[in-house]
Amino acid sequence: MKQAVILAGGKGMRLRERLGDLPKPLVDLCGMPLLERQVLLLKRYGFTSVVVLVNYRAEAIEQFCASRGNWGLDVRCVDDGEPRGTAGAVLEILDTLAAQFLVVYGDTMLQVDLERFCSFHAQVPDTAASLFLHPNDHPHDSDLVDLNDAGDVLGFHPYPHPDGAWLPNLVNAALYWVRREALRPWRGVPGILDFGKDLFPAMVARGLRLRGYKSPEYIKDVGTPARIDKVSADFRSGRIERAGLDHEQMAVFLDRDGTLNREIGHLCHAEQLELLPGVEQAVRRLNHAEYRICVVTNQPVVARGECSIGELRRIHNKLETLLGRAGAYVDRIDYCPHHPDKGFPGEVSELKIACECRKPGTGMIDAAVRALNISRPRSWLVGDSSSDIWTARRAGLRSILVETGHAGLDHKYFAMPDYVAADLDAAVDFILDGHPRLLQALRPLAADIGAGALIFIGGHSRAGKSTVAAGLAEVLRESDHACHVVSTDRWLRSVAQRDAGVVGRHDMVALQELINRFARRTSTLTEVFPGYARGRREHIQGVETVDIGPRDTVIVEGVVALALAMAVPGALRLMVTVDEPERRLRLLREYTLRGEPAQAEAIYSSRMREEWPWIEASGAGAVRFEIPGRRPVEIAK
């Protein structure tokens, strides 16, 4: 038997204008009393017994339940008499309750996968109570809960919080699974006793095991007119239903160092953490757009003995506190403490291992996908390193490389991002606005592209060719095209081996031979592609092996792509264009990132003389395409 206790004894004084003389649990929420919505949720998840603790206007609640035939459940309304607090009311009827029961507050609207919550509670047999916890956008004035990595409750931080305290953004949402016998020592304790303020801290102090169930699902109280209006708007928009973990969730996975905060190399103290400009507003916009935000970070400083787990928790508490001050929050922070290389003074030997959680391993992402029912095809990974981009590819996520932190110039792995953005704020712009616009603009173009097509996308440097190529590939895959994007940048020569001009920088012979093979293929080709390390300006042989089937679509993109297309009559040719002042800023930014700010203007001028006429000529007759609504870049001062 699954049993729930609904605490429905409140008067609802702040809702009096909405309630009239009705008790608070019967407040209307989009055409149905709140109590009925709660009971129907319980019934949906297999609860057969519901105890409703009533007090004010108890007869009205009893009559309402009877009018609904108790929804076909065993519903008992029990008057809890003199107010004794949330826990005190439950303790009064303890002997009549099941061995395990769910506590629901009668003034909350919730959309929670109660089966998942039940399974979590049952994982550890000696759990006294499991608390439903979630982040919110105002942790500074909320009661917060501290957990260890195993999910055990370490302590409680009631509001108001001390100045300068770094606290986790985990709010007690007033939904609990409780083991009956764990409450028995408090039976008969006089006075007011509340679960959150009194009973749970006392249980932890006595050594009982409380666990925190972290979930981003929807649960909000409706205790004021403003709150019920907000919840009603969320209900009408479908936001409440979409928040349930029985629905697949969209997520943005975020790297930490160099993406959210400044990259300083082996950050190991909370005082060193400094958020990058615009991060708070970027995260807040993702919150409002219903993306789950999961931080995934390699933290080898733990294995190296440079940072304790406690200090790492303090670092992440600071991150959550700083975001919370701006009304932003993350849903999960997963970290890998391992490091495969040995020989560091003070290292932690048991953590010096190769593992699946250390990026580019996908262990942290896989765990979040399971926990939050995340849809990989609708999700993203944003990071500043080649490890992040390779992780995204292995995990089946779209990737955005941000040009903060390492800016992809670490060259630890050869991995080409789907998209590139100046920083996290620009990446969020693209996710929420630029990407949908791009795909919408490309869909009419893709409608006439058949299987096995060879497509060429060219244009000037930093015009957005790779963005268009990635977007077109996404659109084609929507129609079940197998699609490959091949960047001609892979065939850039090392600096010492170059000749003059745009053609002299590329291995045009190897590229033309490749295009000929693409055009003539009648069976699967196995190609070994080279790579190019931008930071070192170095050509690298044999970085990736790719199988290309005879009906696979191939998109070739790069500054020389349209010239290569001359050998394939009738191939689709796109020339990506952008306002020249904007392109100039992008090029200057590129060379500033590479550590050549003083030479950037001279490089731009020489490219205009040497390349502009050649690229324009190669694009003659091509379909012109400009990325819609792309955000202008700025050069960092």
- Tokens found for residue 198: 């009194």
pLDDT tens digit sequence for 197-242: 999 999 999 999 999 999 999 999 998 899 999 999 999 999 999 9
Is 189 strand, coil or helix? coil
pLDDT tens for 506-534 read 999 999 999 999 999 999 999 999 999 98
Residue 12's pLDDT is what?
A: 61
The answer, yes or no, to whether residue 425 has pLDDT greater than 50, is yes
Beta carbons within 10 angstroms of residue 568's beta carbon? 17
pLDDT band at 635 (very low <50, low <70, confident <90, very high): very low
- The predicted model scores a pTM of 0.93
Question: Does residue 487 register a pLDDT over 80?
Answer: yes
Q: What is the mean pLDDT of the chain?
A: 93
| DSSP letter assigned to residue 124 | S
Q: Cα(119)–Cα(48) distance, rounded to whole angstroms?
A: 17
- Name the pLDDT band for 9 (thresholds 50, 70, 90): confident
Long-range contacts of 56-65 (CB under 8 A, 24+ apart): 56/9, 56/10, 56/11, 56/12, 56/23, 56/24, 57/21, 57/22, 57/23, 58/9, 58/23, 60/22, 60/23, 60/26, 61/8, 61/23, 61/25, 61/26, 61/35, 64/26, 64/33, 64/35, 64/36, 65/35
Mean pLDDT lowest among 104-113, 299-308, 394-403, 495-504: 495-504
Catalytic residue among 80, 107, 255, 384: 255
- pLDDT band, residue 632 (cuts 50/70/90): low
> Between 312 and 502, where is the model more confident?
312
Distance CA 190, CA 181 (A): 19
Query: Could you read off the pLDDT of 340-353 as tens digits, one per residue?
Result: 988 888 899 999 99
Rg of the chain over Cα atoms, rounded to whole angstroms, equals 29
Average pLDDT over residues 75-86: 89
Encode pLDDT of 367-377 as tens digits. 999 999 999 99
Query: Three-state DSSP class for 449?
Result: coil
- Residue 637 confidence class, pLDDT cut points 50, 70, 90: very low
Tens-digit pLDDT profile for residues 12-37? 667 777 777 788 889 999 999 999 99
* pLDDT: which is higher, 298 or 596: 298
Residue 636 has pLDDT above 60, yes or no: no
For this structure, is 257 an active site residue?
A: yes
| Spatial contact of 88 and 192, defined as CB atoms under 8 Å apart | yes
User: What pLDDT shows up at residue 101?
Assistant: 98
% the chain with pLDDT above 90: 81
Q: Cite the DSSP H helix spans in 416-556.
A: 424-429, 435-446, 465-478, 501-504, 508-520
Looking at residue 532, what DSSP letter applies? E
Q: State which amino acid sits at residue 333.
A: I
Collapse the DSSP code of 533 into the 3-class scheme (helix H, G, I; strand E, B; otherwise coil) and give the result. strand
69 phi and psi, to 5 degrees? 60, 25
Give per-residue pLDDT as tens, 169-190.
Answer: 999 999 999 999 999 999 989 8
Set 257, 423, 489, 552: catalytic member: 257
More confident residue, 467 or 345: 467
pLDDT at 609: 81
DSSP symbol at 151: S
Mean pLDDT of 474-499: 94
- State percent of the chain over pLDDT 70: 98
pLDDT at position 335 is: 98
